[in-house]
Amino acid sequence: QGGERGASLEAGERRGRGERGRGMAPPRDGPPSLLRLDAMDTPSVLECLRARSERGEVYTSAGDDMLVSVNPFKATAACSDAALDAAVSAAVGRGGGGDDGPPSAFSIGSRCWTRLLATHRSQAVVISGESGAGKTECAKMVFRALVGLSEHSSKHPRASLTAGDGQSSQRPSARVSTTHTSNIEARLLVGGLALEAFGNARTVRNDNSSRFGKYLSCAVDRKGRLAGARIITYLLERSRVVSQAPREAPFHVMGALAGAGYGSHLAAGSARAYVREAPPASEAGRLLRQITDRLSAAGVSKAGVNSIMSAAAAVLCLGEVSFEDAGNEGCTVNAGESARKLAAAAALLGKPDGQIAELLTERLLPLPGAERV
């Protein structure tokens, strides 16, 4: 692997030196590849990226396997369905080689698919950047390209790409929806969106900031069709459940539940301890329906959806519970509203009130050679 990677880098350097001899461009022209700049330094790179961004060209290549993205914070042609169709068509038509077209996140996804089928070796995409750089949307675009190519392989198995197949007679349409993709592809798409509701939140820099790390592993069969996937999450910002910095919000699902309420146990607008500013009831209700619909579309049973939402609502109820110091006896739940909120949380969790109160007010200490005290 090291030898192959070294050969790839050496080839890239030779290609870069060749480009420097032909078709060089000043940074203000904003060439599609940084390798074509007449000066490779920080000011030149930044000027090139700015020039391209002002033209709505938010993606710039930095060699075969690297892409620089500038978040436009608006819809652009590079993120459109037409751009997705073009990237998928190029992947199917070029037979594992040739031009990828304009640089984009779609082309990165299609190139992974192409190389996977041509080499039968695993491919990886690493997406990194500061908060608000556009990592979440970029990851969606890469995955949409994979789904579009998988969909094409399912519809036209004989036209699926293998190394050296050349031009395909079928021109795919990669626009993805749950009505045009197989069940597994649709579940993967909406499952990722549903996951955002429980791990994304508004920050001072980004209204949909991912507050966790995500590793998505996709399995593809020999015909280029998605056969399965696994999402591993890590480093979830758990502290955001109970507190947020000024001008920031909790996870989307918590805000939706606080604004819309949940059944008879959580009234709309009643959870203020963990959610300082809940969205209006109408907006929160729409968001809550969207979350539950996505969970269902991802394959979660109705009972499973209810269990997930009940647990989240119970956390909000527990935030409203206050306690009274009982001296050497520890503490007790305050009577009145706190007791009612505790009862609501217990009902949502399907547990007796006393059991929840005991878990919150008593601590068990394990002692060697004895029962817990």
pLDDT in tens, 330-355: 789 999 999 999 999 999 999 999 99
For CA atoms 145, 104, 108, 129, give the dihedral sign. negative
Which has more confidence, 153 or 117? 117
Give ∠ CA 279-206-78 in degrees, rounded to 5: 115
Taking the mean position of all CA atoms in its chain, how far away is CA 236?
Answer: 13
> Which pLDDT tens digit goes with each residue over 227-258?
888 888 889 999 999 999 999 999 999 999 99
DSSP string, 39-68: S-SHHHHHHHHHHHHHTT--EEESSTT-EE
The predicted structure's pLDDT at residue 97: 47
Give the chain's count of helices (H) and strands (E).
11, 8
- Which single residue is written with the structure tokens 């996140």? 105
The predicted structure's pLDDT at residue 327: 80
pLDDT for residue 23 is more than 80: no
Rounded CA separation 281/283 (Å): 6
Closest CA to 276 of 186, 202, 177, 170: 202
The predicted structure's pLDDT at residue 132: 85
Structural tokens at position 215: 């590793």
Taking the mean position of all CA atoms in its chain, how far away is CA 347?
Answer: 32
For CA atoms 149, 153, 159, 164, give the dihedral sign. positive
> Which pLDDT tens digit goes with each residue over 39-81?
889 999 999 999 999 998 999 999 878 999 999 888 888 889 9
Cα-based distances in Å from 366 to 359, 363, 372: 15, 10, 4
Task: Give the burial class of 61: count Cβ atoms within 10 A of its Cβ; 0-12 exposed, 13-18 middle, 19 or more buried.
Answer: buried
pTM given for the model: 0.76
Closest CA to 145 of 90, 69, 227: 90
Closest CA to 30 of 6, 12, 49, 15: 49
- Which single residue is written with the structure tokens 């959806």? 305
> Which pLDDT tens digit goes with each residue over 178-199?
333 457 777 878 888 889 999 9
Rounded CA separation 317/265 (Å): 8
Rounded CA separation 337/229 (Å): 45
pLDDT for residue 323 is more than 70: yes
pLDDT for residue 362 is more than 60: yes
Rounded CA separation 216/124 (Å): 10
Q: For residue 226, how many C-alpha atoms fall within 13 Å in the half-sphere facing its CB? A: 26
Closest CA to 229 of 286, 256, 195, 189: 189
Alpha-helix residue ranges (DSSP H) falling in the chain: 2-21, 42-54, 81-93, 105-119, 135-155, 183-199, 252-260, 281-297, 302-319, 337-349, 353-361
Which has more confidence, 3 or 62? 62
